[in-house]
A and B are shown apart, each in its own frame.
Chain A
Amino acid sequence: MSEETSIFGPYTHAKSSISRTMGLVMLSLLPATLFGLYQFGWPAIFLFLTTIVACVLAEAFSLRVAGKPIKPFVMDGSAILTGWLLAMTLPPWAPWWIGLIGALLAIIVAKQVFGGLGQNLFNPAMVARVALLISFPLEMTLFNQPVPMFSAQAPGFLESLAITFGSSDAIDAVSSATTLGHLKTELGRGVALPEAATTTVSIWQQLWGQTSGSLGETSALLLLLGGLFLIYKKVINWHIPVSMLGTLALLAGLFHLIDPNSYVGPMTHLLSGAAILCAFFIATDLVTSPVSIRGQILFGAGCGLLIYAIRTWAGYPEGVAFAVMLMNACTPLIDHYLKPRIYGRDRKGQPLVYSNEGTDRK
């Protein structure tokens, strides 16, 4: 019998560990990621790898500076996941230094400065994305059409190296606005929506992801698949995704009904941009979302509301990162006020009282 182990039970444990949780999240991201990498070709792969490697190195470096053991923390997979998620939200042909700076911001500023694993208030990937968007608006909004690997227009390996690591104007040839970006511009020019929408891709293409957009955000269907897998595996509860997407769809539907000419419909809101990715993988980030069910519902609804508001009335076509960060800031408050009801007590924490007849008298 070993001495150092705990005195109290349980003496059996579920097959759970941090690395298993992170691994499951990565597994469920895999289909959409592979699709994104395939569709945007070698430059996307380079960017993806750069971001992840930079995150892991930044993590190891910070742990070393903080004097913490490196191996267990690097092995837990959280840094890889942060890099992965960040890369998913970057324009696929962005230069390597976008990935690198993003990684440093995410790991060092957003995570380790707060105290490392589990201590950060904001979602590291979203902090990085917002900071990048503000600092490098040009690079962060330059999207390109899908040019699937092995297709005729796809850049070759060397050309791709030049796109990611050197200076190549190849992107200008294939640059294209995202659906939301396009609609926003057209609306700004006074074009009515039904007209503007004729030039965007079909719903089916949005569903599959055959459209321009961030590296891993385009395929709503594959992301949805991964998200459902996470719920099935009980890594996340269904409450945040459902309340977030529900709120977004509800608002979009409502305004679209009122004025179809200037408000984008719910399908486009749900399927384009980072909505699905956010609902299942970003808003549900374990560390930065509330822990109680009621808290999660409120959090999800808040995200949905803010995303809609930012997309519709603010200057950016996409509002996911801002929305999530704003809600992250509310998480401690939500957790403080929305606790589960304790067994045998009412919501105020007073013991339940039953009258003599045995009926509730709460």
Chain B
Amino acid sequence: MSTGKLFKLFKIRGGVHPDDRKQLSAGQAIEKLPMPPLLHIPLQQHIGAPAESLVRRGDEVKKGQLLARNQGAISAPVHAPTSGRIMGVGGYPAHHPSGLSVRTITLKPDGEDEWLDKLEPCDDYYQLSPEEIADRVARAGIVGMGGATFPSAVKLNLRKRYRLHTLVINGAECEPYLTCDDRLMREQAMQVVEGVKLMARALDVDHILFAIENNKPDAQASIREAAEDTDIVTVVGLPTRYPMGSEKHLVQTLVGKETPARGLTADIGVVVHNVATARAVYDAIALGRPLISRVMTVTGESIQDPKNVEVLIGTPLNNLIDYCGGFREVPERLISGGPMMGQPLPSLRVPAVKGSNGLLALSDKANKTTTEMPCIRCASCVNACPCGLVPLDMANHIKAGSLDSSVKLGLLDCIACGSCAYVCPSHIPLVQYFNYAKGELASRQRTQHKQNETKRLAEARTERMEKIKRAKREAMAKRKKEMEEKKRKKADKAAVAGAES
């Protein structure tokens, strides 16, 4: 392993230093959550098309069995987290602020936790070709587990379209409170590093930068140790700053290049994967196990005993809270993910999904809500924005209703990291404006698309009708002509006949 001590880092603009509050749970080793009485497994836990259910009410399934297969190129299958009986396939509140009902498979564990027998573990996985690795990752239903939930296999296949040179493993975990990646790196460094090597093979790159923020020295040490005998992995210590874990900014810090706007990091030859994803890849390929569980941090001032727990996908969140001793006090707010970019949870009935890395119960002390004041143009948000935007201007334009000009100011380049709102002394909910505007634009685009589509269909229809009409007219004309021809011929014949007779 080459040393990361002397690794040259590049500066990124902006960023903030929130109080990281990781000490609440950083010392807690990963524990396995006891089997919950029911699992609710949504069919869509990833970006792309939802999976298509293959089971029906009453079916008996084994642990690891395919429950729903992917539909289309960007999608991911879903597997049974344990053995048991399918109670139904229907609507259940989503792991999303809206709490809308989404298609979900409900599974009643039978307590046996019995694996499917036809798993395909692979001992000499170094012999697998890149295609085979990507294919197995796709079949295991692995998605980006840092929260992005983009199907990982699609990202592993980027080698076909881009000239890649580096795989970056994102162990920044720059969100306050979260410690699940930290624990994973400390406790399962071997699996993580093996997974990383497999991904590098799939991407066909021989340069791996394993980036870990400097507030996690133990994780750095254990990954260094696990990667000692390979020289393609470089462990790099990152300055502790939010949003260091933002993919594009992480890559810039490491290789000194900005990802072009509206582009991918692959445009500059780099692919980024998350630590938890790496472990899932190891499980999928070495052990043949699909993605059916993940590590989550359950923490916050309102939680009795903050912990890092390995949970089965589909576990209702109140089981996690109960396992962590319940609430110390009524929480002011429940958040899925970190406090900077996480989203509020509609209720604790919703299930843990592939992308959930944290469950936060924040008290009002940590989450003082202050009334919004007018902008004093203090430029704090401008200084904090890692994307070089002028948040106050964008917010003003959005407030004034001119979404298009906010797009000109760079609205679509905003990564919603929340640094601006975090520092704003006037407590202006800037991210809320931006998200509103982005949502509004997307829905306008959809409407526009729909209108265009309707118009196109209508035009096509008219054209078709026209064609039919024309065809009919032509056919009629032809018939008429034929008739006339016949008549004439007849007349001619008659005339000839007349003449002959």
Check B418 against A6 for contact (C-beta < 8 Å).
no
What chain B residues lie within 8 Å of A134 (beta carbons)? none
Q: Is B339 an interface residue (CB 8 A)?
A: yes
Scoring A residues 17 to 30 as 1 if CB is less than 8 Å from chain B, else 0, what string do you get?
A: 11011000000000
Q: Which residue of B lies closest to A73 (CB)?
A: B373
Selected interface stretch from B60-68, B380-388, B451-459? B380-388
Looking at A1, A9, A291, the one whose CB has the most chain B CB atoms below 10 A away is A9
B269, closest chain A residue (CB): A358
> Which of the residues B409, B418, B426, B435 comes within 8 Å of A10, measured between beta carbons?
B418
Residues of B within 8 A of A234 (CB): 380, 383
Q: Total number of A-B contacts with CB less than 8 angstroms?
A: 175
Given A12-B340, A20-B425, the answer on whether A116 and B413 have CB atoms closer than 8 Å is no
- Measured in the bound complex, the distance between the Cα atoms of B217 and A99 in whole Å is 59
Q: How far is the CB of A340 from chain B (nearest CB, A)?
A: 4
B261 touches A345 (CB 8 A): yes
Question: In the complex, which residues of chain A have a beta carbon less than 8 angstroms from the beta carbon of B340?
Answer: 9-12
Instruction: Provide the residues of chain A in CB contact with B360, threshold 8 Å.
Output: 11
**Chain A, 244-294, CB within 8 A of any chain B CB:** 286-289, 291-292
Does A354 lie within 8 Å of B342, measured CB to CB?
A: no
Would B176 and A12 count as touching, CB distance under 8 A?
yes
B227 is an interface residue with CB less than 8 A from chain A: no
Q: Are the CB atoms of A7 and B339 closer together than 8 Å?
A: no
**Is A356 located at the chain interface by the 8 A CB criterion?**
yes
Q: How far is the CA of A349 from the CA of B412 in the complex (A)?
A: 12
Q: Any chain B CB within 8 A of the CB of A190?
A: no
Q: In the complex, A28→B426 CA distance in Å?
A: 21
List B42-99 residues whose CB lies under 8 Å from chain A: 97
Q: When the two chains form the complex, which single residue of A119, A345, A352, A356 contacts B374, counting CB atoms closer than 8 Å? A: A119
Q: Name, among A17, A21, A117, A342, the residue most crowded by chain B CB atoms within 10 Å (CB to CB).
A: A342
Give the residues from 10 to 62 in chain B that come closer than 8 angstroms, CB to CB, to chain A.
Answer: 13, 16, 18-19
Min CB–CB distance A351 → chain B (angstroms): 4
Interface residues on chain B, size class: 35 or more
Q: How far is the CA of A358 from the CA of B375 in the complex (A)?
A: 42
Specify which of A7, A12, A341 lies most central, judged by the most chain B CB atoms within 10 Å of its CB. Answer: A12
In the complex, A2 Cα to B424 Cα: how many Å? 21
A339 at the interface (CB under 8 A from B): yes
Q: Which residues of A contact B97 (CB under 8 A)?
A: 7
In the bound complex, do residue B390 and residue A292 qualify as a contact, i.e. CB atoms below 8 Å apart? Answer: yes
Considering the complex, give the chain B residue whose CB is closest to the CB of A115.
B374
Kindly identify, within residues 337 to 392 of chain B, every residue whose CB is under 8 Å from any CB belonging to chain A.
Answer: 339-344, 360, 362, 366-371, 373-380, 382-383, 385-390, 392
Instruction: Decide if A351 touches B262 in the complex (CB within 8 Å).
Output: yes
Contacts A8-B431, A9-B339, A11-B333 given; does A343 touch B248 at CB 8 Å: yes
Whose C-beta in chain B lies nearest to the C-beta of A359?
B257
A76 close to chain B: CB less than 8 A: yes
Contact partners of B435 in chain A: CB under 8 A: 8
A14 within 8 A of B: yes
* CB of A314 closer than 8 Å to a CB of B: no
Contacting pair A343 B268 (CB below 8 A): no
Tell me whether A343 and B261 are in contact in the complex, defined as CB-CB below 8 angstroms, given that A10-B340, A20-B425 are known contacts. Answer: yes
Contact (Cβ within 8 A) A13 B377: no
Quote the shortest CB–CB distance from B163 to chain A (angstroms).
7
A296: chain B residues within 8 A (beta carbon): 379
Which A residues touch B421, using CB under 8 A? 9-10, 13
A344 interfacial contact with B, CB 8 Å: yes
Interface residues in A54-94 (C-beta closer than 8 Å to B): 72-73, 76, 78
| Least distance between B495 CB and chain A CB atoms (Å) | 81
Q: Given the interface contacts A14-B18, A18-B425, does A354 sit within 8 Å of B267 by beta carbon?
A: yes
Secondary structure class of chain B's binding surface, majority of residues: loop
Given A9-B431, A10-B421, A119-B374; A343-B386 close (CB under 8 Å): yes
Name A118's contact: one of B249, B374, B386 (CB within 8 Å): B374
| A340 and B342 form a contact (CB under 8 A) | no
- The residue in B344, B366, B389 that gathers the most chain A C-beta atoms within 10 A of its C-beta is B344
Q: Which of B268, B386, B409, B426 contacts A18 (CB 8 A)?
A: B426
A10/B341 contact (C-beta < 8 A), A342-B261, A344-B258 known:
yes
> Which residues does chain B contribute within 8 Å of A21, judged by CB atoms?
376, 378, 425
Q: Which residues of B contact A34 (CB under 8 A)?
A: none
Q: How far is the CA of A291 from the CA of B249 in the complex (A)?
A: 23
> Of B268, B334, B343, B409, which one neighbours A358 at CB under 8 angstroms?
B268
Task: Determine the distance from Cα of A352 to Cα of B360 in the docked complex, in whole angstroms.
Answer: 38
Binary contact track A333-349/B, C-beta < 8 Å → 1, others 0: 00100011111110001
Q: Is A237 an interface residue (CB 8 A)?
A: yes
Partner of B335, one of A11, A289, A351: A11
Across the interface, which residues of A come within 8 angstroms of B261, CB to CB?
342-345, 351-352
Select which of B176, B373, B380 is within 8 A of A76 by beta carbon: B373
Given A10-B422, A18-B376, A344-B342 contact (CB < 8 Å): no
Instruction: Check B382 against A344 for contact (C-beta < 8 Å).
Output: no
Q: Does any Cβ of A come within 8 Å of B410's Cβ?
A: yes
B373 near A340 (CB under 8 angstroms)?
no
B418 near A9 (CB under 8 angstroms)? yes
Residues of chain B within 8 A (CB-CB) of A6 are 429, 432
Q: Are B422 and A17 in contact (CB under 8 A)?
A: no
A167 beta carbon closer than 8 Å to chain B: no
* B343 partner residues in chain A, CB cutoff 8 A: 8-9
B248-A286 in contact (CB<8A) = no
Are A343 and B387 also in contact (CB < 8 A) when A9-B339, A354-B260 are? Answer: yes
Cα separation A150 to B285 with both chains bound (whole Å): 86
> B367 contacts A12, CB within 8 Å?
yes
Residues of A within 8 A of B259 (CB): 344
Most chain B CB inside 10 Å of its own CB: which residue of A6, A10, A119:
A10
Give the complex CA separation of A187 and B200 in angstroms: 77
Interface status of B427 (Cβ within 8 A of chain A): yes
Distance (whole angstroms) from the CB of A238 to the closest CB of chain B: 12
The answer to whether A351 touches B268, judged by C-beta atoms less than 8 angstroms apart, is no
- A2 to B: closest C-beta gap in Å: 7
Query: In the complex where A10-B340, A286-B377 touch, is A344 in contact with B413 (Cβ < 8 A)?
Result: yes
- On chain A, the residues within 8 Å of B387 by CB distance are 342-344
Q: Does B120 contact A (CB under 8 A)?
A: no
Contact A291 B379 (CB under 8 A): yes
CB distance from B403 to the nearest CB of A (A): 17
> Chain B residues near A153 (CB, 8 Å)?
none
> 18 additional contacts, CB 8 Å, given A117-B373, A117-B374?
A5-B333, A8-B343, A8-B431, A9-B339, A9-B341, A10-B421, A12-B422, A14-B18, A72-B371, A288-B377, A339-B390, A339-B409, A341-B388, A342-B388, A343-B13, A343-B258, A343-B261, A352-B260
20 contacts between A and B (CB under 8 A): A1-B331, A1-B333, A2-B369, A7-B432, A8-B416, A8-B418, A9-B343, A9-B421, A10-B422, A12-B176, A18-B426, A73-B373, A117-B376, A287-B376, A289-B377, A342-B388, A342-B410, A344-B259, A344-B260, A356-B163
- Write the residues of chain B forming the contact surface with A, with a CB cutoff of 8 angstroms: 13, 16, 18-19, 97, 163, 176, 248-249, 257-263, 267-269, 331-335, 339-344, 360, 362, 366-371, 373-380, 382-383, 385-390, 392-393, 409-410, 413, 416, 418, 421-427, 429, 431-432, 435
